[in-house]
Structure 1
């Protein structure tokens, strides 16, 4: 390993962030929404609350940002006239520059989810919760935390990738193959390219209606609205005017009742009635849903708390 000598302590410098040189190749990326939140935080605070690392390259006369490129960019966009940074003035070989950059990105602690949940729950103001920059995936995981029993992070999550493909078969197949080879999502949902703009419009409408900035939260709103209109999906198999099915096959029960769940008391009574019909041989054991045929056939049956006539 080259340059095993210790670095001299960096000095703290205050200056115009616009005079700093950002990295041409930076392995660390920041999603757009998180960057916008970073800019908003700086506009609120009036300064940085964490310090970039800068190297003074005396040969070129450049001040190179080794760590904190996004913070510097955000400071510029937030209009901050000056910021503080840690500055290394001694010569650095290219290998050591890269090692410093990658170590700052890679060596980081992990949050204890139980403590993180406890601290987050203390924030009563919505604006301060937004200030933290915690995304919906993290917040959803926090809902599942058992503070009494969980000592360290061991939480599962799944990533989903939306792909909007063109109508042409060859182009669609090529795009899908490229996305499949490059992505690591647990699930991939394919849609037509012409649906891309309507999806963005739906997300924007949800954000505007509820005054939220996070796309994942906006998607949650869209799904909640969808859940309230499950019964409308019956149009895919049911003709309301004639009361007859318009296709063969199976239909989801939630499109019949308009809900995914029913009270356990009702479910227990229905289950008992179905079990009785199966025992009596009036309903096949491998097709218990045919108890509904008994309901609509006009036969009379009195079960445990359920009357089928």
Structure 2
């Protein structure tokens, strides 16, 4: 049986009554869009626990316990009293509807807050020794992870439980964010604001037109160097670039120009390259050009040509 009330801005908030419980309580099916969290909720949950809850719901495809909600006295909202984290994880898991215990008696704000505090406070506590006995009955790693019991309950060595519940990296790493955006200041500001919570060590922004060529270059380099890992490919490309800069003898006291702006390209036929390489190596051996600035061979040739030699 579907019932509805006029909501804020005239929209309909509908719920489907599944069963009557009496005393103003029903079991109802409510759409995710119709459920509103409280602005203040004293019960907190660690991020990793919230993620585990989301994974559990994804696996099941539904909540395994019913949240307690209320239809406000004006009939405009369905508000969560108990079950904020379950519903939040359910939404993250892609659930479109929730089965809830719904109080339709018309609670006011004071009534809702009182019940919210009561549900958070009257939750009992776990007997740790009994939890350990229960944990011994689990013989599947996935069940251990789903239980989120913790290593002190599961009595698994720290090194093992860390691998199961919270995989860690044994090397130093840096968090880098690099995005390709149109050159508009509002986009850049929005990007910086959006990623501040991740506290990256470096933030880079490039023209959106450079995204496709960059990805094509990365894919080709992975194939060329037979590197499957993207991070390893970027590392190898970076080393190659730094080596080229070092070989050129670059320093920031002079203004530099890319050779492609002179020759129109950076590649020549192999047989021509071998001949030029041989000449450059001889210039290095004769001391005409330094090993780290081989491009000066072009300068020598230019001077000779311009002098008519």
Q: Which has the higher strand share?
A: 2
Answer whether TM exceeds 0.5 for this pair.
no
- Asked which structure has the greater CA Rg, the reply is 2
Alignment TM class, shorter chain as reference: 0.3 to 0.5
TM-score where L is the length of structure 2: 0.43
TM-score where L is the length of structure 1: 0.43
